[in-house]
A = this chain, B = another copy of it.
Amino acid sequence: MKVEDIQGFFAKRDQLDMADYLELDYYLECVGDIEACLAHFCSEQSTAQWSRVGVDEDFRHVYGAKVIDWKVVEELPELSYPVEQAAEGKVHACRVTIAHPHGNFGPKIPNLLTAVCGEGTYFTPGVPLVKLLDISFPDSYLAEFEGPKFGIEGIREMLGAYDRPIFFGVVKPNIGLQPELFAEIAYQSWLGGLDIAKDDEMLADVEWSTLKKRSELLGRARVRAEELTGDKKIYLANITDEVGNLIEQHDVAVTNGANALLVNAMPVGLSAVRMLRRHTKVPLIGHFPFIASFSRLEKYGIHSRVITKLQRLAGFDAIIMPGFGNRMMTPEQEVLENIEECLNDMGDLKRSLPVPGGSDSAATLENVYRKVGSVDFGFVPGRGIFGHPMGPKAGASSIRQAWKAIEKGLPLDTYAEAHPELKAMLEK
């Protein structure tokens, strides 16, 4: 890029109509002249050649991505992570805010991803390391998305569960159990006080446990549990499948009595979730396989909050995400940011229920509640319920007992003295 061309990719925020732009925050490690790197970075993700040969025109005014803010956060002797064939030299670690004109692609998730984390983003000369940290959308852009159909309030109404967390449980053994036995275990957990018994994210429609059979059995077991307890229950069926089968799988599961559906967001694709959102009769719950492959490292990839926002845009009513503690190897700040992205104002979109999880049990509930800071979350143990030494009904009871103790302001240990299910779990 010629020196005189660089400034065409810089602008002042107050000179732009920000309703026409997304704001993108990136961490970049630049080698070479910083402004040249940043101009290249904008060029590559928008109008890479902004005029025809021999024609006096400039598409950058309307179509160019533009740097509206940047600063060097650190000077480094080398890249934070080695990249073979990267440019060599002193490394300028930068934070940069880019105004990207959304008219280049419109309110479409695949085209949005292509623009903000596509070839341009990761193949800019002089910028070997990039992390997309955040995206902000103008309200007019958000208004083009449907977002959650039910949201937190919709799920609470289905369950008649207010002023407390929503209690999920992942039925275990997750893989290999025959549907009849699976249904019996889920039934027990509902009797013990679970709101939502769910399929593991790895269990979908397989020969040894077809979705049809499982949803029939679980649908019936759910109704029995509702009759016996007088409480509303949810069977959360995992319909993660080839995109061409999703609508049919929805129909099979819902007809049989599944009243919420689990979809693994990235493996199926966020856009397919948006398609399903338009069809669904029940809440859609997202799960997080694949996301860590590009979000774990601090200085490369895509921050998980970006994907949380996109999951909400796509229409998930609840979002299961890596939770607190060392088990999930996710910084506490990042977990909190992902929870916030479910709950923050976002145009007119409903709120999604955040479900931070990872090896939870009655022993971890209070910690999660304190960290979230409100009751607007889902709690999702697996072995913490279905590995309970007294069985899954006791496992579910132990969770409800732990919540009672929290409500009463009593130490868990004290409350456990008169509650053997809780006691057994704490001792485990």
Residues of A bordering B, CB below 8 Å = 45-54, 59, 62-63, 80-87, 103-106, 108-111, 113-115, 117-120, 122-123, 125, 128, 132, 172-177, 181, 185, 200-202, 204-208, 240-244, 264, 266-272, 274-275, 278, 287-290, 292-294, 296-298, 300-302, 322, 325-331, 358, 382-383, 386-392
Checking B119, B322, B331 against A201 with a beta-carbon cut-off of 8 angstroms, the contacting residue is B119
CB distance B87 to A326 under 8 Å? yes
| Cα of A270 to Cα of B268 in the assembled complex, Å | 8
Q: What 4 A-B pairs have minimum CB-CB distances, sorted nearest first?
A: A269-B269, A118-B289, A59-B176, A122-B292
Of B123, B271, B382, B391, the residue contacting A327 (CB under 8 A) is B123
Q: Do A103 and B391 touch (CB < 8 A)?
A: no
Q: Are A330 and B85 in contact (CB under 8 A)?
A: yes
The binding surface of chain A is classed by DSSP as loop
**C-alpha spacing A113/B268, complex, angstroms:** 9
Cβ distance A187 to chain B, nearest Cβ, rounded Å = 13
Interchain CB contact under 8 A, A47 and B275: no
Q: How far is the CA of A77 from the CA of B287 in the complex (A)?
A: 34
A325 CA to B50 CA in the complex, in Å? 25
Contact B50 A176 (CB under 8 A): yes
**Cα-based distance from A84 to B322 in the complex (angstroms):** 14
Which chain B residue has the least Cβ–Cβ distance from A107?
B242
- Could you say which residues of chain B place their CB within 8 Å of the CB of A243? 110, 243, 269, 271-272, 274-275
- Identical chains in the assembly: 2
CA distance A67 to B392 in the complex (A): 30
Closest to A200 in B: B48
Q: Contact check, B52 vs A113: say whether CB atoms are below 8 A apart.
A: no
Once the chains bind, are B48 and A174 in contact (CB under 8 Å)?
A: yes
Q: Within the complex, what minimum Cβ distance (angstroms) separates A265 from chain B? A: 10
B53 touches A329 (CB 8 A): no
Tell whether, in the assembled complex, residue B296 and residue A83 are in contact, meaning their CB atoms are under 8 Å apart.
yes
Q: Could you say which residues of chain B place their CB within 8 Å of the CB of A117?
A: 289-290, 293
Closest to A59 in B: B176
- A47:B173 contact, CB within 8 angstroms: yes
Contact of A296 with B300 in the complex, beta carbons under 8 Å = yes
A172/B269 in contact, CB under 8 A: no
Answer whether A111 and B241 are a contact pair too, CB < 8 Å, given A47-B174, A297-B81: yes
A143 to chain B, nearest CB (A): 16
Partner of A242, one of B108, B173, B267, B289: B108
Please report the C-alpha to C-alpha distance between residue A117 and residue B242 in the assembled complex, in whole angstroms: 17
